Amino acid sequence: MKKIFAVVLVVLVLCSGAVSSQGDIPVYINGEKLVFDVQPQMINDRVMVPMRFIFEKLGATVHYEESTQTITAMSKTKEDKMIFIFIQIDNTFAFVNNPEVSGTSQTYTLDSPPVLVDGRTLVPVRFVSESFGCKVDWNDKEQAVYITKN
């Protein structure tokens, strides 16, 4: 009985460490570490972050249409041109209009679409950040995301 208890205890300790380390993915914008109320998660080899928080940190306003699960984010460029991003929960297609990045409106196929996790919408941090013209770097050693806003 003691051996079984010891084995169960070891498994629980090992599993709890694995779960918490998955949630520790630091994200920085211009050197400032972001503090999330819901931790970034690695899903399908993509870092996913809370939707509203990352959009607002990148200077965008966000609208979520619950009936269609569609997310619209808007921001202005330095030249006062509008940037629009339209994405939908569990949909791999995204629509981006950023005159400074592509010059025209473009449709993208995401390898990791926005998802709902415990009632929160998570979006791929690289796609969202690059859509707003930011540079994104992944530091494999630190397991961290570095975003540079212009």
For 4-21, the pLDDT digits (tens) are 444 433 434 444 333 333
Residues 59-74: what's their mean pLDDT? 95
**In b/e form, how buried is each residue of 112-129, taking b as 16+ CB within 10 angstroms?**
bbbbeeeebbbbbbbbbb
Alpha-carbon distance of 19 to 48, in angstroms, equals 16
Give, in order, the Cα–Cα distances in Å from 61 to each of 10, 40, 46, 83, 126: 46, 20, 23, 11, 18
Topology classification of domain 2-148: Copper Amine Oxidase; Chain A, domain 1 (3.30.457)
pTM, two decimals, is 0.78
103-115 per-position pLDDT tens digit:
778 899 999 999 9
pLDDT the model gives residue 21: 39
Segments making up each domain of the chain, as ranges: 2-148
pLDDT band at 80 (very low <50, low <70, confident <90, very high): confident
Amino acid, res. 12:
L
